[in-house]
Chain A
Amino acid sequence: MSPPQPPRLNRPELICPAGTPAALRAAVDAGADAVYCGLQNATNARNFPGLNFTPDALAQSITYAHERDTKVLLAVNSFATAPGAKLWQDAVDIAASLNADAVIVADIGVAQYVAENHPGLRLHLSVQAGASSPEAIRYYCREFGVSRVVLPRILTVTEISAIHDEIPCEIEAFVFGNIGMMAEGRCSLTNYVTGQSTNMDGVCSPASAVQYVKNADESLAAKLGEFEIDCFAENESAGYPTICKGRYLTPARSGTYYAFEEPVSLNLSSLLPELVGAGVTALKIEGRQRSRSYVRAVVSAYREAIDDIMEGAEADLSVLISLTEGGKQTEGAFKSKKWR
């Protein structure tokens, strides 16, 4: 008698970031099943200078991807802000007219606009909507016909599996890249410091507000706006001043500490079989702000890993450690509740 076989896994889709048309082609060529991107304005949560797509570039990119059987998802996932909310509706119209395969939205008004005006356009619920319970997810499914939810990076694999059993839509989960510490779509820290809003302008710790200042003791202060977010000794490599990865003082402790999280990257490569077993349909790589070569390297590694796992082989993802922030990686919330 042969030993019992593990349950057959469904092949997950690999969802890859693209901040530029070149990165999009790199992701497609490296084996992405779908690529997500945004327009060059406040309608998406990675509204950085020099990044993102004009409508023309998006049209050409969608053609390139579709010719190679790869989907393109347009992120329209910041919060449409009155009195200029039409910009978000225009972005949805562009996605529909260019035959994007789905729009990724967070705002209720934008979701309603899609459902009412483009009922044939597939709707994905962005991580920016912060839907972290079955009821919240079912709300968006019921009201707007959401086909897929991108889960916040705060759940354990066991919890994801339980959610899967209680919702009528597909699950997309982040597996690699930046790990946001705050509930997405509900963070005004950048706006508090810089006057530019993550929710409304699609920016987080914008480069235009970053300054590095040399202190008298030769240490280097990394400032965002007027506030010193971190400070690096002469022999330390200086990091980027992201508020939720800074070092601060508090009366209960002596010396500065990472009050929220250390600068680490999420890497769930060792949990891939469990994630797929939990019912995750799509595995998402973060990093629309990353370079084409980064995208190519990460996508290739994950493509190979997924294919290996589907064939029952061990996946080798050692190459990915060199691509994590400061060479440090974490499984974040996914492995254990102790992370919280």
Chain B
Amino acid sequence: MASSELTMGPLIFHWPAEQKRDFWLRIADEAPVDTVYLGETVCSKRTPFFDDPYLAKVSQRLQGAGKKVIWSTLSEVMIKRDRKIVADICAQEDMAVEANDASALFHLSGKPHRIGQALNVYNEATMQFLASKGATHFCLAPELPRSCITSLAQTAKRLGVGLEVQVFGRMSLALSARCYHARAYGRTKDNCLFVCEEDPDGMDLSTRSDTPFLAINGIQTLSHAYLNLSGEVSALQQMGVGAFRLSPHSGDMVAVAHCYRDLLDNKITVDEADVMLKELKVPQPMANGFFHHQPGYKMVSTLSERT
């Protein structure tokens, strides 16, 4: 079996620009990932801070360190600023682009590109159609269950396209036109004062009885639980999934990457990986429910599946 590819997904949070820069530089120098996804995927208002001044430089460093760099587009495209950013990224001849909405597909059809998590690919016909228009690699939505991933992996193999699944980090559950970070502070999207910068891993929402539930990242709603598919990695590899995505958080992502690299290479067991993630203080609980066709927040034991 070919070696599994480990990827670092787009940084979905609004960290101070220097923190973002340092994050990616450290990934370049220290993280055993093969591919990184750059570019703002959540809110176009954030792009003047990091993307405009730093992204090209960071990209060079990552490429210099031997990483493949892909540019992810905005997940929700509505106003002129969003549309221009997507059009500009897609117009670059020398950049590999991951499309996260249909407006990016409008620009990218006919040339090679990737399909991101925010574009719904739930069946063989969709995958085949997009591949016929130039899609070479698909990252699936977190909510897909095993049966669906199995079918899509067979289709990807037949079409000769890459298949990627997120294995770590909070799951994107919803997008909206409204900014819920701004709303929590009594503001609107237009006068948000970039309050989302306060929460490096999202703003916690709990139920009235104080049960942690969701996390807000601007217009995006995330799971409270961190996705951890350590116990499913082996099954995914056997299905033919070739790329495994870590979604960046403020914890030690280099160490998380080493952990998953060793797990993918069968150098450590699932239990060892899980112990390691706990020692790294990855917030608990973790979840894998979607894969098992259970509520997404649940952690289903995979002991019986392991050999």
Q: Which residues of B contact A197 (CB under 8 A)?
A: 143
Q: Which of A66-123 contact B (CB under 8 A)?
A: 79-83, 85, 88, 106-110, 112-113
B223 contacts the other chain (CB 8 A):
yes
Most buried by B among A131, A260, A333: A260
Please judge, given known A-B contacts A79-B120, A229-B207, whether A181 and B101 are in contact too, CB under 8 Å: no
Q: Which residues of A contact B205 (CB under 8 A)?
A: 248-250, 259
Find out whether the CB atom of A193 lies under 8 angstroms from the CB atom of B76.
no
Find out whether the CB atom of A188 lies under 8 angstroms from the CB atom of B207.
no
Find out whether the CB atom of B189 lies under 8 angstroms from the CB atom of A135.
no
Alpha-carbon distance A206/B241, docked complex (angstroms): 32
Q: Which residues of A contact B86 (CB under 8 A)?
A: 135
B211 contacts the other chain (CB 8 A):
yes
B234 contacts the other chain (CB 8 A):
no
Alpha-carbon distance A227/B184, docked complex (angstroms): 20
Q: Besides A136-B103, A189-B214, A195-B296, 7 other CB < 8 A contacts?
A: A82-B147, A108-B120, A142-B106, A249-B207, A249-B210, A260-B221, A339-B178
A278 contacts the other chain (CB 8 A):
no
Closest chain A residue, CB of each to CB of B125? A109
A244 contacts the other chain (CB 8 A):
yes
A309 contacts the other chain (CB 8 A):
no
Q: Which of A185-226 contact B (CB under 8 A)?
A: 185-189, 191-195, 197, 199-200, 221, 225-226
Alpha-carbon distance A186/B211, docked complex (angstroms): 25
Number of B residues near A (Cβ < 8 Å) is 76
What 5 A-B pairs have minimum CB-CB distances, sorted nearest first? Answer: A109-B125, A154-B177, A82-B151, A109-B126, A135-B103
Alpha-carbon distance A67/B78, docked complex (angstroms): 41
Scoring A residues 134 to 159 as 1 if CB is less than 8 Å from chain B, else 0, what string do you get?
11101110110000000010110001
* Residue of A129, A155, A252 touching B203 (CB-CB under 8 A): A252
Chain A proximity of B222: nearest CB distance (Å): 10
B253 contacts the other chain (CB 8 A):
no
Chain B proximity of A229: nearest CB distance (Å): 7
B46 contacts the other chain (CB 8 A):
no
Q: Which residues of B contact A170 (CB under 8 A)?
A: none
Chain B proximity of A202: nearest CB distance (Å): 12
* Residue of B102, B141, B189 touching A188 (CB-CB under 8 A): B141
Alpha-carbon distance A109/B208, docked complex (angstroms): 41
Closest chain B residue, CB of each to CB of A191? B143
Number of A residues near B (Cβ < 8 Å) is 73
Q: Which of B152-185 contact A (CB under 8 A)?
A: 152, 155, 171-180, 183-185
Closest chain B residue, CB of each to CB of A139? B106
Alpha-carbon distance A110/B83, docked complex (angstroms): 26
Alpha-carbon distance A282/B209, docked complex (angstroms): 44
A64 contacts the other chain (CB 8 A):
no
Residues of B participating in the A interface, judged by any CB pair closer than 8 Å: 75-79, 82-83, 86-87, 101-103, 105-107, 109, 118, 120-130, 133, 141-143, 147-148, 150-152, 155, 171-180, 183-185, 188-190, 198, 203-211, 213-214, 216, 221, 223, 289-290, 293-297
Find out whether the CB atom of B102 lies under 8 angstroms from the CB atom of A248.
no
A320 contacts the other chain (CB 8 A):
no
What is the interface of chain B mostly: helix, strand, loop, or mixed? mixed
A8 contacts the other chain (CB 8 A):
no
Alpha-carbon distance A108/B125, docked complex (angstroms): 8
Q: Which residues of B contact A112 (CB under 8 A)?
A: 125-126, 129
Please judge, given known A-B contacts A80-B123, A186-B174, A193-B295, whether A135 and B83 are in contact too, CB under 8 Å: yes
| 16 residue pairs A–B, Cβ–Cβ below 8 Å | A80-B126, A82-B148, A109-B123, A109-B127, A136-B102, A182-B221, A193-B297, A200-B122, A200-B148, A226-B295, A227-B211, A249-B207, A250-B204, A260-B180, A339-B188, A340-B190
Alpha-carbon distance A145/B221, docked complex (angstroms): 33
Alpha-carbon distance A194/B297, docked complex (angstroms): 9
Closest chain B residue, CB of each to CB of A128? B120
Find out whether the CB atom of A186 lies under 8 angstroms from the CB atom of B120.
yes
A228 contacts the other chain (CB 8 A):
yes
Alpha-carbon distance A56/B123, docked complex (angstroms): 28
Chain B proximity of A85: nearest CB distance (Å): 4
Please judge, given known A-B contacts A109-B129, A133-B82, whether A228 and B141 are in contact too, CB under 8 Å: no
A257 contacts the other chain (CB 8 A):
yes
Closest chain B residue, CB of each to CB of A197? B143
A256 contacts the other chain (CB 8 A):
yes
Alpha-carbon distance A142/B105, docked complex (angstroms): 11
Find out whether the CB atom of A79 lies under 8 angstroms from the CB atom of B178.
no
Alpha-carbon distance A186/B82, docked complex (angstroms): 18
Alpha-carbon distance A193/B143, docked complex (angstroms): 11
Find out whether the CB atom of A228 lies under 8 angstroms from the CB atom of B173.
no
Scoring A residues 228 to 258 as 1 if CB is less than 8 Å from chain B, else 0, what string do you get?
1111000000000000100111111100110
Closest chain A residue, CB of each to CB of B150? A83
A11 contacts the other chain (CB 8 A):
no
